[in-house]
Chains A and B, each alone.
Chain A
């Protein structure tokens, strides 16, 4: 029996090694690799040129599992991911014979509530249907900025529930089962209490502005 393959598409435009989507998707991929799967990572920002895009599509076509880990931009998937999904769905619709690829979507957002991610996960489910991928489930995560782009293990105890949820998801995928509800329930538990998260977030913006010398201009209305 040949080794099973998993492909991760990181849907963030941030530089490699700095995004929360990469941290989350990378964690799932590492668990899949431990379970004996061959793994490959693509970054959506690097898949815009036709030849790179073709590599991605061919990798997905030949995979057993496709994992998309993306941030939430304005209530849905970012432009780069939407474009990639449009083109991948068209590519797979044009295939003579569809390949049996399973699909997991992980969407994280900067707001503390995971409810913000539901529309994007719904969009992922329809994409799966139109691209001929088998939907295994979607995982939403709120308060993603708390990860700070670091590997989840490095973030420490704050991500304990997130890691347990992703462990459950990876185990289900390795066993060929859909994502269990418990995995989403674990990701729904806040890493930081909501009010503390927004307080830290607001302070963080002020600090960043002070560093950049824009504290007094932070509320500017240049386009009015």
Chain B
């Protein structure tokens, strides 16, 4: 059984939370042997959350193609198989805004680690079976716990109210959704949802790829490359 979380650079265990200075040192000493670059250039990091439900293996070939593509553009990838990750649900208490600003009160599960991986990444990819037009519950569990990444205060964007950013920069957002059978309504809802998430998360760029379950690997690669181009270009560009 594959581990719930994998660092594809050196097959490291999940990064524990540590003070910022220690994290910077850690980033300097972990060099991806497959993507050699000048030491002064910052690494680009991609976080992949796999939201396959228990017993659903239809996402496995898509994830394989996605990880290969990300490796090929030279990004350092951390992945989580959400169904195998111990993660409590968001209780809607807002203590991550007022009691322990920026940190969920729930400790001892993977919540803080995944939130940290989100904000430290350049690109976040949500891989999910499209569920009623939205994400699977496994992805939702992680997304709900990410509100600690924004401030409680409000701002206006295009006449709509959203939360102010807590951090200076947020990752680009990509979503790869798998549909068991063609469904225009669900595809439309899914695209809108990702767009809304990108707006709320202040993602600099976002893209969506909707695939039919069972798409053969060569076509998978082609579709992923084409549909994720808007988010992969900046990732690849920073490494060029």
Q: Chain A interface (Cβ within 8 Å of chain B)?
A: 12-14, 19, 71, 73-80, 82-83, 85-86, 89, 111-113, 115-116, 119, 122-124, 126-127, 130, 194, 198, 201-202, 205, 208-209, 212, 214, 217-224
Contact = CB atoms under 8 A, between A and B. Distances in A.
Interface of B: 17, 20, 53, 89-94, 97-103, 112, 115-116, 119-120, 131-137, 140-141, 143-144, 146-149, 151-154, 160-162, 166-167, 185-186, 189, 192-193, 196-197, 200
A223 B100 CA distance: 12
B153 A202 contact: yes
A82 B135 contact: yes
Given A82-B136, A126-B132, A219-B101, A74 B144 contact: yes
Contact of A74 (B17, B143, B153, B166): B143
B140 A76 contact: yes
A75 B137 contact: no
Contacts, number: 149
Contacts of A127: 132
A127 B152 CA distance: 31
Nearest to B155: A198
A79 B136 CA distance: 9
B92 A123 contact: no
Given A73-B144, A75-B193, A217 B101 contact: yes
B90 A223 contact: no
A123 B189 CA distance: 7
A202 B192 CA distance: 28
Given A78-B90, A198-B161, A219-B166, A122 B144 contact: no
A202 B148 CA distance: 16
A86 B136 contact: yes
A72 to B, nearest CB: 10
A99 B240 CA distance: 59
Given A83-B137, A212-B98, A221-B167, 18 more contacts: A13-B92, A76-B193, A82-B136, A82-B140, A89-B132, A111-B160, A111-B161, A119-B193, A123-B193, A127-B132, A130-B132, A202-B152, A202-B154, A205-B98, A209-B101, A221-B166, A223-B115, A223-B119
